[in-house]
Chain A
């Protein structure tokens, strides 16, 4: 087993960059969806509660791989209709966009539960204090609930982000050139599958470690001013 990677080093580095880009853009979409889902689930309106509940239940019950495939192959007809409507020659979802949407939807469904827990953990008195001061509902959310919520939601979100980062490997199935796809390409020409998949595994491990360190600092930062309970 030689470790010069037969000149595939730069390709794998580019793949790593693509994985990071995909993970971050899915994270951004997922956070928005998760916040919306949690707001819907905690809202006083029954239809919104139902919508939020259905979203998180259905998405969490179906494998991520199926979402990736469904979004990528299932939207072809939809995009064709849209292109006809707009009068454009052809319109299609790139593997990157499909991966971002699929992983974002999955992340959002789990984040819905994390955010919901965090919203419920904010003492009721804080909301009432906001109302007594005459703040509007959106302002109470932005100024009172959201800033306090992050601290509570962060550990849960961190776990979800680690899962998301590993799930990015699934997008290689629809041909996005991230770590897995690049290693598969390297395998076809080098005929050394174990070497390259092991290298891929260690890249993922490295990314996980970096994410863990980053989260540690974020958690430390977000809990400034809070005394850690003994234990």
Chain B
């Protein structure tokens, strides 16, 4: 193991790690915002409300992220309407394509988590809220969603870590995030083992910090107390 090389390229790898963090942070936050209406619709009692998010979730969970990324980054350029449209400056940049794809991808998974969490809210609590005279809308916002957020939080933290790992795919559309940066450095140094090892350590470190952070958040939101444990 050539430690000097690793130390020499550490700042560049850290640069890549920053981009990785940026991609993941934007994707999981935007994905969450997108997933909330979808999760609520997915938990609906009416089949016609459920159908649309179901189709969306089925497509995004049933196909690899790499295919979705290529569909957006390479695929959209096939249509003249897209190339002449106002969004083209964004859709031609790998950065925005990666963010768009990762957001759409993770939104499908988060919506499914949210559906499970909404359905896991004890029906007695919902009935109590309705008996107190809350409207359906109020029940959703003051009772069901805060409760579902705590039930779904552990699964959401899993999803964030999965997205951290999925973000390595952005390197296939020329983005220099952690994996992309590692590949670029290897093209110069011809030392795949050392550099990939260092990149792997970065991922482990980030995952470790995320796990700790979510533990703190769970503590802060008193998730344990809510589960009656």
- Taking Cβ atoms with an 8 Å cutoff, the residues of A that contact B are 58, 61-66, 69-70, 73-74, 76-77, 166-170, 172-173, 180, 184, 187, 191-195, 197-198, 200-201, 204-205, 208-209
In the bound complex, CA of A69 to CA of B64 (Å): 18
The contact of A74 among B62, B63, B76, B192, by CB within 8 Å, is B192
Tell me the chain B residues, 179-201 only, with Cβ under 8 Å from chain A: 179, 182-183, 186, 192-193, 196-197, 199-200
Q: How far is the CB of A32 from chain B (nearest CB, A)?
A: 23
Select from chain A the residue with minimum beta-carbon distance to B65.
A166
In the bound complex, CA of A191 to CA of B167 (Å): 27
Given the known interface contacts A76-B192, A193-B74, the answer about A65 and B179 at a Cβ–Cβ threshold of 8 Å is yes
- Asked if B156 lies at the interface with its beta carbon under 8 angstroms from chain A, I say no
Tell me the chain B residues, 30-86 only, with Cβ under 8 Å from chain A: 58-59, 62-68, 70-71, 74-79
Given the known interface contacts A63-B168, A204-B62, the answer about A197 and B203 at a Cβ–Cβ threshold of 8 Å is no
- Taking Cβ atoms with an 8 Å cutoff, the residues of B that contact A are 58-59, 62-68, 70-71, 74-79, 164-169, 171-172, 179, 182-183, 186, 192-193, 196-197, 199-200, 203-204, 207-208
In the bound complex, CA of A61 to CA of B196 (Å): 14
Interface of A is mostly: helix
Select from chain A the residue with minimum beta-carbon distance to B79.
A194
Chain B neighbourhood of A58, CB < 8 A: 204
In the bound complex, CA of A168 to CA of B64 (Å): 9
Chain B neighbourhood of A198, CB < 8 A: 71, 75
Q: How far is the CB of B145 from chain A (nearest CB, A)?
A: 25
Q: List 16 A-B contacts (CB under 8 A).
A: A61-B200, A62-B200, A63-B203, A66-B196, A66-B203, A69-B183, A69-B192, A77-B193, A166-B64, A172-B66, A180-B70, A191-B78, A192-B78, A194-B74, A197-B67, A204-B67
Q: How far is the CB of B177 from chain A (nearest CB, A)?
A: 10
Select from chain B the residue with minimum beta-carbon distance to A172.
B66
Contact yes or no, B204 A201, CB < 8 A:
no
Select from chain B the residue with minimum beta-carbon distance to A200.
B67
Chain B neighbourhood of A205, CB < 8 A: 58-59, 62-63
Q: How far is the CB of B82 from chain A (nearest CB, A)?
A: 9
In the bound complex, CA of A204 to CA of B65 (Å): 11
Q: How far is the CB of A151 from chain B (nearest CB, A)?
A: 23
Contact yes or no, A66 B62, CB < 8 A:
no
In the bound complex, CA of A42 to CA of B169 (Å): 34
Contact yes or no, B62 A69, CB < 8 A:
no
Contact yes or no, B75 A193, CB < 8 A:
yes
Contact yes or no, A194 B203, CB < 8 A:
no
